[in-house]
Structure 1
Amino acid sequence: VKVMSVIKLSCQFLRNNMRNYKFYLLVITVTVAIFYNFLALAYNPSVASLADTYMYAQIAAVLCMNILFLVVIFFMWHSNHFFFKQREKETGLYMLMGVPTSKIGKVFAVESVVLGLLAFAIGLPLGILTSKLFFMLLAKAMVIEVVLPFAIPVAAIRDLVLVFASLFLIMGFYNYRAVCKSRLIDLIQGAKREQQVPKLKYMRGIIGILLIAVGYFLSLKGQGLGINLMSVAIIVLWFVCIGTYFFFGSVLSIVLSRLIAHKKLIYKGERLISLSNTLFRLQNNYKNLAMTTILCAATVTAFTTSLAVKTYADHNLLIEVPYSLNYLGRELKTKKQVQQIIQSSPHQILGQVETEFLLLDKQGHIMDLNELDDVAVQKVIADKNYGYMITSVGQIQKILECIDYPQKDKLLKQLACESGEMTLMLSPGIIGSTISSIGEVRTIQGKSYKIKNESKVPFIGNIGPLSNTFGYVLNDVDYMKVKGEQQGIINNGINISDQEECLPLLTQLVGTVPGGESNLNNYMGHYLYKYKLVGSFYFLGLIISIVFMLATFSTLYFKVLSDAFSDRQQYTMLKKIGMTEQEILKSIYMQIGIAFVLPAVVGACHAFMANQVFEKFVKGNYLMDYLTALGLFIALMIVYYIGMSKKYFRLIFD
């Protein structure tokens, strides 16, 4: 009977407070559905037969699940804290009536568990219903025709139940302990605590600004100081997060106190009420503002990175596959055979070019390949006893003209160098690098060359072991001096018509070129395989962006609700003494605007610096992706801001 009584009371409390629980229920429901889709991808029985196709998607899904798990823990803790604070007085009244704290704690615990079970009961069917769409969109993003068939893996449901049941039970136990440890006097007076102007902590503010400034500086110049890029990213993350916490805990209170002291500014319109409310609550709200800022930065950064990954894949096409097909070989016999096979196929040769490069051993000397035939050269390449490739600006220019490279002039200007200088040519197969070699000096044939720049260049693409090999680009004069009497390796690049349908042709060529498949780079092979990796991270990255967006909205939602409950009596009094509803609405828009604009602006700055680190990692420019992500984020924030302002107004006067 007692158990039924507790459950009955919990359900009654849940119905009475459902108005406040709606957003919480929505977020948890969506989270359960997304989490199920990640698990369904990992446990789908058809994945075993498509391991090569979906391997990258599985890796990305595991990473996304971990991020989602951390975000949902933060959301549940934050929202639960809000709910408990709003019901302090209610809890105190029950204690005054003689209800034992243990029973009140049990009721609150069961209520939170029932709320979680309700979200789970809606979220799981929603996840199952949307899983087919999830797999279809994933396959489209990965540019593959095979889509996972619909299935409901028992293991996915099992893990989902274990994860969320644990979270709901832990949250219920936390509520039980919180009630049992509460003191009656604190609960009764919880809503009557006077708000005080926060102390102005100038030193903390200075430290906060310095930490953010140092983080920004390292994101721009960290590699130039000889710091590993991965270390830079970690240091910047900690400095910016701590600096943001100090900024909202000190600098904002200093700025607002100065504004309020400015009489001509503060007594204009409804500014006094809005700025005063923000300042007086800052001592309790600055942590919320700091967390909202970090979540804003995470949302924009996640979205930017997803878009940038897609941009990278599209831009890197001509780096990894400059031609429809290319192979390495100097012998005229092989070249004629390749020509004959292509001419006898339905394809036409649209263009071709031969370029030369040398191999540098690990001691800095040019490898002697003069007496070797093409088969022997392939064995040398397979042994990987070399350090770098070496070519010239003139050779690169021939390639750029043949493939009609869209940024030819810009790249040639970047590659231009004086005698004794060179450009480090990054390997086409590398996605990113945590180190920079600019300014370093390398020795070739006993002469020192300084690395002026580093860049990805259309050259030989993903061809065998050389796809992971870096190269040096010298000016034409220095290259000829280095080459001397050595015979270079010839890369034969050919562009053909209908390259998307060249698989039968490639099958014939594999048996013709020396080295076989490892010496034949082509559009339909290596690049599309890499695109599956890019597509999976692009799609799942967008999902995580949505998760971060929901977390951002949740922090703002509970802050606005908390302020509305606190301001209800104040605005009711102002209305009685003559303040119109229109003036109150203007005051509300300004007050909530501060809570939206400041985190969004500071978060956008943080995200911009994060993008700088990402650009250094992948060696590219993704400003347009950042601006696209920021524009969409701001548009959603504006819509949400208007909606929350109206909700705030309704909560005050309902």
Structure 2
Amino acid sequence: MSLSKLAFQNLKNIRQNVMYLGAVTFAILIYYTFLAIRSNEAMLQANELYGKLGTVFTGASVILALFSAIFIWYSSDFFLRRRKKEIGLYALLGLERGQIARLIFLETMGYGVIGLILGIAIGTVASKYFVQLLASVMAMQVDATFTISGASVLQTIGVFLLIFLIIALRSARTIYRFTLIELFKAEQQAESLPKVHPILAVLSVVLIGVGYYLTGQPLMDHFTIVAPLLMLCVILGTFGTMSYFTIFLLRVLSNQARHFKGTNLILHGQLLSRIKSNAVMLSTITVITAVTLTTVGTATSIYYFIDQTVEEQVPYSLSIASKQSEAEQLIAKSDQKIDSRTMVNVKNVDHQMTDLPNPLTFTRYYATYAYEDQPGQFSYVNYSDYVKLAKANGKTVIKEPKQGEAIVLETFKGNDLLKMKIKSPVGVEIKDVHESFRITAATNLPIAQLYEKQRLAFVVNDDTFAKMPEKGFTLTNYQFSDERHDDGLMKQLTQLYGKQADTEMAAYYPVYTMTTATTGLLAFAAGFLGLVFLLATGSIIYFKMLAEAEESKQRFAIIQKIGVDEKEQTGIIRRLVGFVFSLPYALGLVHSLVAMQVLQKLLNYNIVRPTLLAIVCYTIVYLIYYIVTVRAYRRIVT
């Protein structure tokens, strides 16, 4: 039988490698789909913004290709370990190492070709539905059809053939490292018990603790220093935990009385003998799990709060600062109906940044005013107009400030930090023609978003407002009956204001469509990348455990002879596999929850629900992998 026929015969035995082939096919499927969606004509025609955001798919496809290469590289090791005895048999039957290497090369490339055919074929069919799903999360109307992107097909084939070529050459080269005796005694090569390093074990946990502590510090003050240090501590601590702390913990458990009860002695011995060789794998999976959960949780949370985010950025359907009569004529001709109209007089006052002492200087992070030594504008509103705004927005009306007093209007979400910095009353001294004001209250009442920079606004009494020398202007805010619909009104208003459109008008609809498209695209990409990462990490553990199962056949045969029945063996397998699955999952979950707490502070949203949704979905898939792995492990050893 020729090598090509033998390789083909081995490829037909696909049952043993269905998990590997499935994960590879799915990675190719998503990679091709991302490329196909990136150049989809229907999406490009439906939204001109899509062409600019398409770089998200380009970046995601690069990440996916790199991760797929790492995954295939990792999994090929496990296949070689499982097949050592088979390879030794080939050598015993007279095949030379060069022939065996070519056989492994052909098989690896064969799986690559099968994965490419399946991935591209399924991707071609599924791309239509993926486009529809993406259009849905981006709030776009698209008539998707079945299309084949020639450029995407060629790029997918080129990238993954290169990946499989490198892996195949590396696998073939590995054959030369083993002797015939090593191949036949692969299952009998027991690993020595690892040494305990208590100091390194404790240091690993301390490093993770330091990383967690840094997340509670003001990251924005020294982000370029704190963020890399935080990540370094957590990653090093994770690798140390898997390499040293788990060994230390297992050794402590082995000294307990319960260690000698039931099958614990067998379980702890099996774990101790394998944990050292699995440390790098478990650490890598922990980091990937943390990154995946954090990324998916972040994207899900941002998408979940689209409505609230846009409402805070653009509180009204339309705000204008001039040409009220012309604008209302256009509104009257459109499909929109005005539910409410509020008008407020505003005066913008320039203050030097150096003239504003703490606690207001923190707002530089939110571009409340210009850079140091440059004037920044602050808006002032009279109390009468404030009362109208408060009632229109369903807010509690605050008592009128007296002479020399002011109310802070938190017109932008970032200014919520005022609550942590300002303890009423606080004096704000303004060294110009205006008097000094004592802040007596704060509220998150929006005026309008007509500014290039978000501003602080102050409510003063009517007499103080009238004495300010600056020229005031009138802001008119409209609330439409259907602000998420546009029949061309926004384009007409933009033409009306011309070059002054950015400063004289602000509308809800353009911001809503742009935000929905951007966050929807990010959520889509993050979700599918997360799913690929999950399938790959689950598959890596699956392959690793099956490779160990092949090497543990003799051990389980011995424990069966000494009286351990099938039910007890199944219990050992469940706990053994459960330990390997749960350890990186639990630590990765804790890492992601800490990261999500930081995100919650930055967004100032309660992200518990979207975060739980991401965790539940991840956990369900992980449990499926665990069940499949336990069953496969049991079939091999029993």
**TM value normalised by structure 1:** 0.82
Task: Please give the per-residue CA displacement for 1:174-198, whole angstroms capped at 9, x wherever unaligned.
Answer: 0121112334444344322222221
Report the CA distance shift for 1:482/1:469 in structure 2 as closer, same or farther (over 3 A): farther
Matches of 1:450 and 1:289 in 2, distance apart?
A: 57
Query: Which sections of structure 2, spanning at least 5 residues, go unmatched?
Result: 356-369, 399-403
Q: Does 1:269 align with 2:262?
A: yes
Match of 1:402 in 2: 392
Matches of 2:614 and 2:155 in 1, distance apart?
A: 33
Matches of 1:211 and 1:365 in 2, distance apart?
A: 40
User: How is 1:133-282 mapped onto 2 (pairs within 5 angstroms)?
Assistant: 133-147=129-143, 149-223=145-219, 226-228=221-223, 232-263=226-257, 265-282=258-275
Task: Please give the per-residue CA displacement for 1:509-557, whole angstroms capped at 9, x wherever unaligned.
Answer: 5576696643332233332133211111122221112111112211221
Q: Measure how far apart 1:121 and its partner are.
A: 1.4
Match of 2:6 in 1: 9
1:64 pairs with 60, 72, 92, which one?
60
- Give SS of 1:194's match: coil
Amino acid at match of 1:460: A
User: How is 1:150-549 mapped onto 2 (pairs within 5 angstroms)?
Assistant: 150-223=146-219, 226-228=221-223, 232-263=226-257, 265-329=258-322, 334-335=323-324, 338=327, 342=331, 347-359=336-348, 361=350, 363-364=352-353, 387-391=376-380, 399=389, 401-404=391-394, 426=412, 445=431, 458-461=446-449, 463=450, 466=451, 468-474=452-458, 476=460, 484-501=468-485, 503=487, 506=490, 517-518=501-502, 519-549=504-534
Report the CA distance shift for 1:453/1:564 in structure 2 as closer, same or farther (over 3 A): farther
Determine if contact 2:346/2:379 at 8 Å carries over to the other structure.
yes
Amino acid at match of 1:625: P
Determine if contact 1:425/1:471 at 8 Å carries over to the other structure.
yes
Task: Please give the per-residue CA displacement for 1:59-114, whole angstroms capped at 9, x wherever unaligned.
Answer: 22112112211221121011101111122233334334443211111111111011
Determine if contact 1:132/1:150 at 8 Å carries over to the other structure.
yes
Q: Measure how far apart 1:398 and its partner are.
A: 5.4
Amino acid at match of 2:36: A
Report the CA distance shift for 1:496/1:564 in structure 2 as closer, same or farther (over 3 A): same
Q: Measure how far apart 1:135 and its partner are.
A: 0.9
Q: Measure how far apart 1:402 and its partner are.
A: 2.0
Matches of 1:299 and 1:532 in 2, distance apart?
A: 22
Matches of 1:606 and 1:483 in 2, distance apart?
A: 56
Determine if contact 1:424/1:451 at 8 Å carries over to the other structure.
no
Query: Which sections of structure 1, spanning at least 5 residues, go unmatched?
Result: 367-380, 413-417
Q: Measure how far apart 1:217 and its partner are.
A: 1.6
Match of 2:101 in 1: 105
Matches of 1:323 and 1:66 in 2, distance apart?
A: 40
Match of 1:87 in 2: 83
Matches of 2:240 and 2:354 in 1, distance apart?
A: 55
The alignment-based identity, stated in percent, is 25
- Give SS of 2:142's match: coil
Out of 156-165 and 528-537, give the one that drifted further: 528-537
Report the CA distance shift for 1:478/1:550 in structure 2 as closer, same or farther (over 3 A): farther
Q: Measure how far apart 1:646 and its partner are.
A: 2.2
Task: Please give the per-residue CA displacement for 1:322-372, whole angstroms capped at 9, x wherever unaligned.
Answer: 11211124xxxx445655665676654322223454445584499xxxxxx
Determine if contact 2:303/2:523 at 8 Å carries over to the other structure.
yes
Q: Measure how far apart 1:26 and its partner are.
A: 0.3
Report the CA distance shift for 1:51/1:144 in structure 2 as closer, same or farther (over 3 A): closer
- Give SS of 2:456's match: strand
Determine if contact 2:138/2:517 at 8 Å carries over to the other structure.
yes
Determine if contact 2:409/2:442 at 8 Å carries over to the other structure.
yes
Determine if contact 1:327/1:493 at 8 Å carries over to the other structure.
yes
- Give SS of 1:521's match: strand
User: How is 1:556-571 mapped onto 2 (pairs within 5 angstroms)?
Assistant: 556-571=541-556
Q: Measure how far apart 1:305 and its partner are.
A: 1.6
Matches of 1:452 and 1:647 in 2, distance apart?
A: 69
Out of 182-191 and 96-105, give the one that drifted further: 182-191
Matches of 1:558 and 1:204 in 2, distance apart?
A: 29
Determine if contact 1:326/1:460 at 8 Å carries over to the other structure.
yes
Determine if contact 2:381/2:459 at 8 Å carries over to the other structure.
yes
Amino acid at match of 1:200: V
Q: Measure how far apart 1:9 and its partner are.
A: 2.1
Report the CA distance shift for 1:193/1:531 in structure 2 as closer, same or farther (over 3 A): same
Matches of 1:452 and 1:14 in 2, distance apart?
A: 77
Q: Measure how far apart 1:451 and its partner are.
A: 12
Q: Does 1:43 align with 2:39?
A: yes
Match of 1:373 in 2: none
- Give SS of 1:323's match: coil
Matches of 2:244 and 2:440 in 1, distance apart?
A: 44
User: CA RMSD for the aligned pairs?
Assistant: 3.9
Determine if contact 2:411/2:447 at 8 Å carries over to the other structure.
no
Amino acid at match of 1:296: T
Matches of 1:20 and 1:326 in 2, distance apart?
A: 64
**TM value normalised by structure 2:** 0.84
Matches of 2:508 and 2:571 in 1, distance apart?
A: 59
Amino acid at match of 1:102: G
Matches of 2:604 and 2:336 in 1, distance apart?
A: 35
- Give SS of 2:216's match: helix
Matches of 1:505 and 1:48 in 2, distance apart?
A: 22
- Give SS of 2:222's match: coil
2:538 pairs with 529, 534, 553, which one?
553
Task: Please give the per-residue CA displacement for 1:599-654, whole angstroms capped at 9, x wherever unaligned.
Answer: 2211111111222343455454423322221222223323332332222212222x
Determine if contact 1:455/1:619 at 8 Å carries over to the other structure.
no
Match of 1:124 in 2: 120
Match of 2:590 in 1: 605
- Give SS of 1:353's match: strand
Matches of 1:399 and 1:649 in 2, distance apart?
A: 69
Matches of 2:247 and 2:440 in 1, distance apart?
A: 47
